[in-house]
Amino acid sequence: MRIILSYLKFNVSLNQQNNQFMFSKACEYGLKASIFIASNSYDGERVSLKEIAKEINSPEAFTAKILQDLVRHKIINSVKGAYGGFEIPKNEISSIKLSQIVNAIDGDSIYRGCGLGLHVCDENHPCPVHDQFKDIRMQLKDMLQNTNLEQLALDIKSGASFLKL
Amino acid sequence: MRIILSYLKFNVSLNQQNNQFMFSKACEYGLKASIFIASNSYDGERVSLKEIAKEINSPEAFTAKILQDLVRHKIINSVKGAYGGFEIPKNEISSIKLSQIVNAIDGDSIYRGCGLGLHVCDENHPCPVHDQFKDIRMQLKDMLQNTNLEQLALDIKSGASFLKL
DNA sequence: TACAAATAGGATAATTTTATCCGAATAAAC
DNA sequence: GTTTATTCGGATAAAATTATCCTATTTGTA
Ligand code: FES
Ligand code: FES
């Protein structure tokens, strides 16, 4: 029996396998929600928490927290009460950058943090992978700072990209 | 009093601010430990858990788990008992890539995962940031697959790079 | 053989992230 | 004004990650 059981023990990893690519789940939901809100605000439509959670396939209550966070950071607007919901002023859609959303939810460690977790990333006291990481981090930073919600919202509207599955 | 307290409530974020750049803490420790082991194995020196944890400034018992994981993945060797410790066969140091370590600890989501957490990253069913992420992920992948422990270990030995602080 | 110095590994605790629940506040419609 | 639909926010729970403790096992040395 001991022998049989040992065969079943194939998952020898410490954790159950980091499933996160770059951002926290909260941040992923925040990004997707923002894109969905933008795509609707583009048509002058306000969307409710329920619609958002359904569209981006996220847990409703958790998504609510994240949206509140974005509202507090003045990235999106909320309207309480019947017929309320979330929206982004049409003329602001194209000026909201992904970096603002990431920053609000995950903070700025993605822009400034050391790839190996040293307390600070410093040219004069680099970690072993500093040079290799610097470029990638910079590219990521540029991308986030130069991608705005309008471009992404249009792709969703046209069916060129998707928010779930 | 209400008013004074409200001023103290400056941290309006959901979480206490994601401090992770790319990898889990476990993975960061694993990478740093591997580099340190390599730099010593280069001189034919075996290092103990205690020395490693001290050098990379990590919690000893947790580091032990991670090292066990790397041993099981045959990335490093361990020797039990007095004068035991961890080592990497000299001739293997230059062939061990960062990607092997990351893969053993964090899995392959960093290479294959969708930036917005869609179930799969798929050209035919892309998320809104698919095109933007693809390049960065590829660059990261190339870097991890092309960087070996020897290069990094030598920088540590020469004092050109650092493992803590 | 006994002892000392290590790693291995199971159990458990602490912390953080993710998720849920519920009542309060708000605003539109009737 | 009452009802209804909705966000807000506090409290709490669940799950995952990070961390600690303790015992067993292994191996070199006296
Ligand atoms: S010091 Fe580690 S990335 Fe710069
Ligand atoms: S589908 Fe999201 S990165 Fe490819």
pTM of the model: 0.91
pLDDT reported for residue B114: 95
pLDDT reported for residue A20: 74
pLDDT tens digits, A55-68: 999 999 999 999 99
Q: Which nucleotides of D are covered by protein (CB under 7 A)?
A: 4-10, 16-22, 25-29
Dihedral class, residue A124 (left if φ above 0, else alpha if ψ from -120 to 50, else beta): alpha
pLDDT tens digits, B100-117: 999 999 999 999 999 999
Measured over the CA atoms of residue A45, residue A51, residue A57 and residue A63, the dihedral's sign is positive
Strands B77-79 and A77-79: unpaired
With a cut of 70, say whether residue A12 has pLDDT above it.
Answer: no
Report d(CA B32, CA B53) in Å as an integer.
Answer: 10
Q: Band of the pLDDT at B150, cuts 50, 70, 90?
A: very high
Work out the percent of chain A whose per-residue pLDDT is above 90.
Answer: 85
pLDDT tens digits, A103-128: 999 999 999 999 999 999 999 999 99
Which of A8-17, B58-67, B108-117 shows the highest mean pLDDT?
B58-67
pLDDT reported for residue A17: 66
The answer to whether some atom of strand D lies closer than 7 Å to the beta carbon of B107 is no
Among all protein residues, pick the one whose CA is nearest to the C1' atom of C22: A61
Strands B77-79 and B85-87: antiparallel
Q: Which residues line ligand 1 (CB under 6 A)?
A: A 114-116, 118, 121-122, 126-127, 130, 133
Token reading at A39? 């795509």
pLDDT tens digits, B15-46: 766 667 799 999 999 999 999 999 999 999 99
- Give me ligand 1 centre to Cα A126, in Å: 5
B156 CA – D18 C1', rounded, Å? 26
Q: Band of the pLDDT at A19, cuts 50, 70, 90?
A: low
- Give me ligand 1 centre to Cα B145, in Å: 18
With a cut of 60, say whether residue B4 has pLDDT above it.
Answer: no
Q: Band of the pLDDT at A14, cuts 50, 70, 90?
A: confident
With a cut of 80, say whether residue A95 has pLDDT above it.
Answer: yes
Torsion angles phi and psi, residue B97, rounded to 5: -95, 150
Domains of chain A, start order? 24-107+148-158 (1.10.10.10)
Contact between residue A70 and residue A30 where contact means Cβ atoms under 8 Å apart: yes
H or E element, residue A79? strand A77-79
**For chain B, what is the mean pLDDT?**
91
Exposure b/e, B62-90, CB count within 10 A at least 16 = b? ebeebbebbeebebbbeeeeeeebbbbee
